[in-house]
Structure 1
Amino acid sequence: MGIHVARFRMGGEVRWGWVRREQVIPIPGRYESLAEFLAEGAARARGMAAAGSVGEGLALAKLELLAPVTSPCNVVCQGQNYRSHMLEVGQDPDAKDFNQFFRKASSSLASSTEDIVKPERVRMLDYEIELGLVIGRRISGPVRVERGGLHEFVAGIVMGNDISARDLQLAEGQWHKAKSFRTFCPVGPYVYLLDAEDCARLMDLRLQLSVNGEPRQDASTSEMLYPPEETLTELSEVMDLFPGDLVLTGTPGGVAAGRNLSKLARQVGRFISVFLSDKTLAKLILKQGNTAGYLKEGDVLRASISSPDGVIHLGTQENRIVTRALEAPVREARAKVG
């Protein structure tokens, strides 16, 4: 069985700890990044757990937990990887014949309790709860990854939220820009370090997200079209991955964009996704101007991922939406360009 670890601040220092019930047991050593922790600290944490030596624990509730995934790193994302999400946006999951990838800037990483900053110009801010894979070893060429051997490549799993500015994504077609604003990728609070026996559990995890207490997303990882082992096998043919990198594996149905697109489909018919180009469809959605369900100032996101038996639990994220205007020099520069 794997163990839960967290990154936290204590007395002005950043430390790592083994999470045991409601206590955090500090792990010996100082590790500036997730990659450094995986190189030495993870083995120390496992040794502590195996020995049953808990030492002096710290109250979890009193600690400032930090993002366990650290920048700089690769943040690679899968698009439309859940059946329910494809159906809600008018796509046929059985017809999908490729694994879709995109990137987020690692500067978008935030903690599980940090405010998510909504740029003032963004009107359609969306949420996407996702299971994240933390890469545990360097991959510099094609490899064949099997589900039972995932732990050989994936050090652990973590909860993430792919926050997205849908109006920018649709109007400009720039996924990276729309998804990479600072704070647009809350992660944590824990990394669950995998053991071999945990690999089979990854396709039976429950993802749940609510906005202001209203359930929005509730699904199982069993919905994935391309499971982690297939995804890593394909990615290894394309790019190098390094310890501490993050792969986000897609989101299930229930996002604000899907809810609004479903309403639009009922109004004009399901032919919209068949006969209209992506660009034309985007213009139609933006012209409709329906921002219902999208995130606004003061909204609170709450998310969790766990296995049915509770052995794997990635903690709870609770992030508030705050709005921030562009800085004056940026506004002035944009005015001159216009």
Structure 2
Amino acid sequence: MGIHVARFKAGEESQWGWVRQEEVVPIPGRYASLAEFLGEGAVRARELAASGQGKALPLSQVELLAPVTAPCNVVCQGQNYRSHMLEVGQDPDAKKFNQFFRKASSALTSSRGDIVKPSRVSMLDYEIELGIVIGRPITGPVRVTRDRLHEFAAGIVICNDVSARDIQLAEGQWYKSKSFRTFCPVGPYVYLLDPEDNAKLMNLRLVLSVNEEVRQDSNTGEMIFPPEETLSELSGIMDLFPGDLLLTGTPRGVAAGYNAPKSAKWVRKLITRFLSDQELTQLVLKMQARNTAYLKAGDVVRASIFSPDGAIHLGEQESRIVSS
């Protein structure tokens, strides 16, 4: 089995530690970033876990920081879960390509940090996603298979792809709408993968709640393009480096889906036949303005990812929405 590692503060300086139950064991050495840690630090973490030794600190007495650190590439997959495509009126069986977009690494924040809602944003949405942490340089085409995924992916982490839907819909700006500071809570831990974990990655449960109401509850087995296929494709497009992050998409239950068109395909075709793109966008925005599922100041979002047998558990995020 893999192990959990965290980046934390117990004083003035940040450090890394191996997490066991409700404690964290500091790992010797200073590593300024996740990229630095994934070399010697990850080896030391596994040695600590194997020995079971080291002086531990209660997690309740430390400040957990974002375990994924900027600067890094944050690459995202769009509409990669069948149920999410269906809830926004798309046909998953008609999807023939892997959809990618970017998110600014300055959006990264901790699993306990506030999510700041900009005053200009009225439709703030959440998206629980499984994050894949790159573990080795990928500077040319490679073929990644499920049984070799751990050779390219150092670990996995909970991510929340927070989105300003009004900007995304009105301006068609995915990067802008998803890149405000604090719009990417990660952690609390990175789970460093072992070879036997590869088989479990397509059977992880994703659960997100808002104010104790479960909004998203699905399984990674719903992915249209799994991580090994995605990394294989990305390797032919761009360079990736240790500490980079891949967000693998979100399942159904996002706020935007609460008021999305649920019409049959012929009704959607009829609407688009008589409305211009601009008129259709304004209609959708008008419908979404009445949607009460969007996040507001004071809301608390909790997210967790785990395997049904309990062998893998990535901890729990708890984020509060605050106004700027």
Instruction: Give the TM-score normalised by structure 2.
Output: 0.96
* Correspondence for 1:255: 254
Point out the more displaced range, 248-257 or 271-280.
271-280
Count of paired positions: 321
Describe the superposition over 1:120-173 as per-residue Cα deviations: whole angstroms up to 9, x where unpaired. Answer: 111100000000000000000000000000000000000000000000000000
SS in 1 for 2:256: helix
* Correspondence for 2:89: 90
* Correspondence for 1:45: 45
* Correspondence for 2:312: 312
- The answer to whether the 8 A contact 1:91-1:273 is kept is no
Structure 1 gaps, min length 5: 325-338
* Correspondence for 2:107: 108
Question: 1:269 and 1:303 mapped to 2: Cα distance?
Answer: 35
SS in 1 for 2:241: coil
Question: 1:162 and 1:272 mapped to 2: Cα distance?
Answer: 32
SS in 2 for 1:41: helix
Query: What amino acid maps onto 2:64 in structure 1?
Result: L
SS in 2 for 1:281: helix
* Correspondence for 1:281: 280
* 1:26 equivalenced with 2:23 (yes/no): no
- The answer to whether the 8 A contact 2:48-2:54 is kept is no
- The answer to whether the 8 A contact 1:134-1:156 is kept is yes
**In structure 2, do the counterparts of structure 1 residues 119 and 309 end up closer, same or farther at CA, with 3 Å as the change threshold?**
same
Superposition RMSD in Å? 1.5
Query: What amino acid maps onto 1:71 in structure 2?
Result: A
Question: 1:189 and 1:56 mapped to 2: Cα distance?
Answer: 20
**In structure 2, do the counterparts of structure 1 residues 136 and 298 end up closer, same or farther at CA, with 3 Å as the change threshold?**
same
Question: 1:121 and 1:272 mapped to 2: Cα distance?
Answer: 33
* Correspondence for 1:75: 74
Point out the more displaced range, 271-280 or 220-229.
271-280
Query: What amino acid maps onto 1:107 in structure 2?
Result: S
**In structure 2, do the counterparts of structure 1 residues 227 and 48 end up closer, same or farther at CA, with 3 Å as the change threshold?**
same
* Correspondence for 1:322: 322
SS in 2 for 1:188: coil
Structure 2 gaps, min length 5: none
Q: Deviation of residue 280 (structure 1)?
A: 4.2
- The answer to whether the 8 A contact 2:10-2:61 is kept is no
Point out the more displaced range, 242-251 or 290-299.
290-299
Stretches of 4+ aligned residues off by more than 6 angstroms: none
- The answer to whether the 8 A contact 1:69-1:244 is kept is yes
Q: Percent identity?
A: 72
Question: 1:277 and 1:215 mapped to 2: Cα distance?
Answer: 36
* Correspondence for 1:331: none
